[in-house]
Amino acid sequence: MGIQPELRLQMYETMLRIRRFEEETAALFAAGDLPGFVHLSIGQEAVPTGICAALDPADTITATHRGHGHILAKGADMGRMMAELMGKRTGYCAGKGGSMHISSLDLGVLGANGILGAGQPIAVGAALSARLLGEERISVTFFGEGASAQGGVHEAMNLAAVWKLPVVFVAEINGWAELSPYSDHVSVPSLVDRAAGYGIDAASVDGTDVEAVLDGAREAVERCRSGEGPVLLEARTQRWHGHFEGDRQLYRPEGEVAALPELYDPLVLQSDRLLELGIASEAELDAIERRVAEEVAEAVLFGRNSPESAPEDALLHVYSTDGRGGAA
């Protein structure tokens, strides 16, 4: 199946939205305007963008601690995300989650997760309920090489395989697990090598190329929708920033980080393609750039102007009922 020009352009815009959101987040964090800590996905924009472009609105995802891109690609509002990063009442989680725990049940975002390898069993459950309730949706779960060492990921793949559930396991391999390299965490060249052990289908795609990701995602999604069971899709990508903002990445070989934008920029790859194929002109790309810049500026403004959560709101949302047949 070919990729429609509109979608090619739209994916470029989605990647740009993620990039500019993350850059703004980095700037705000550096200026001391964001509490806590943040994990940015700059350089990895093609993965969530290509995956989510293959999904229906009802499909669910679980995101990682580096999850802003996943959530934006699933359709999140930038303003409410920024408000959540600022701990404001208007944020997706009313300021209770922060960067690492953004969820939007309405968008099918079951949550970013601060625990490596926790989202994968949850994603299996989302697929299980779809089958039980007779709903058509499939379940997608993002994780990295760090989480791949977690038992929960293994159990999730085994469960999904044994129960033949529609789960796409997206291994977003950026070369690093926190502060140490892939080879410290994984003994095989590719996570695809593990799939045979579960009896599931697997493929690896270039995670810098959004269209390669989309192709791989479409195939995986199609397989899931037709009831053939789970798929493992590995997307090899690059992490430009540190594990968290403030991590200077002194553990990486000298010059490696500086060279990444030149070698692996998913935005440049896609914009070059759009120009070359005549799908967009420089002027049109500039217009997208301006539109996204405006969206980011508005998101920051929305966040800044949003009311703080009341301290006593900390007492809300522990339970949804009173345990006696009534609401909490």
Partner 1 sequence: MKYYAAIREALRCELERDPRVFFMGEDVGKPGGIYAQSRGLQEEFGVERVRDTPAGELGFMGAAVGAALTGARPVVEISFADFIPVCLDQLVNQAAKIRYMSGGQARVPLTVVTFGGAGRNAGPQHSGSYEALLGSIPGLRVVMPSTPYDVQGFLKAAIRDDDPTIVILNKALLGLADDSEAGVEPIPFGEAAVRREGEDVTIVAWSAMVHTALEAADRLAAEDGVSAEVIDLRSIQPLDGETIGASARKTGRVVTVQETVSFAGIGAEVAAEVSRRAFGWLDAPVQIVGPPFTPVPFSKLMEEFVLPDAGSIVRAVREIL
Toward partner 1, which CB reaches closer, 138 or 267?
138
Closest-CA residue to 51 (of 158, 142, 187, 143): 142
Neighbours of 51 (CB within 10 A): 30
Q: How far is CA 200 from CA 79, 194, 220, in A?
A: 39, 9, 11
DSSP string, 239-300: --S-SSTT---TTSPTTHHHHHHHH--HHHHHHHHHHHTTSS-HHHHHHHHHHHHHHHHHHH
Q: Residues 75, 114, 175, 181: which binds partner 1 (CB under 8 A)? A: 114
- Applying CB under 8 A, the span of 89-97, 176-184, 238-246, 248-256 interacting with partner 1 comes to 89-97
Q: 81, 21 in Cβ contact below 8 A?
A: yes
List the one residue from 71, 126, 147, 231 that touches partner 1 (CB under 8 A).
126
Q: Judged by CB under 8 A, does residue 121 bind partner 1?
A: yes
Any contact of residue 311 with partner 1 (CB under 8 A)?
A: no
Our CB check for partner 1 shows the closer of 118 and 202 to be: 118
Does position 128 bind partner 1 by CB under 8 A? yes
CB closer to partner 1, 190 vs 309: 309
For partner 1, the closer CB: 150 or 249: 150
**Shortest reach from residue 173's CB to partner 1, in Å:** 22
For residues 93 and 233, which CB has a smaller minimum distance to partner 1 in the complex? Answer: 93
Query: Is residue 291 near partner 1 by the rule CB under 8 A?
Result: no
Q: Which of 92, 142, 182, 302 binds partner 1 (CB under 8 A)?
A: 92
How many residues sit close enough to partner 1 to count as binding (CB under 8 A)? 53
- Of the CA atoms within 13 Å of residue 56, those in its CB half-sphere come to 11
103 binds partner 1 (CB under 8 A): yes
Q: Does 132 bind partner 1 (CB under 8 A)?
A: yes
**Is 199 among the residues that bind partner 1 (CB under 8 A)?**
no
Could you tell me the strand order of the sheet in which 167-173 lies? 60-62, 139-143, 167-173, 231-236, 201-206
- The single residue among 3, 7, 10, 131 that binds partner 1, judged by CB under 8 A, is 131
Give the residue among 248, 252, 214 at the shortest CA–CA distance from 233. 214
Decide if residue 162 touches partner 1 (CB under 8 A).
yes
Output the CA angle 63-179-62, nearest 5 degrees: 5
Contact 40, 249 (CB under 8 A): no
Q: What's the residue count for the chain?
A: 328
Beta bridge partners of 269: none
Which of 144/266 has CB closer to partner 1?
Answer: 144
Per CB under 8 A, residues contacting partner 1 are: 60, 62, 91-97, 101, 103-106, 110-111, 113-115, 118, 120-133, 135, 139, 151-152, 154-156, 158-159, 162, 316-321, 323-325
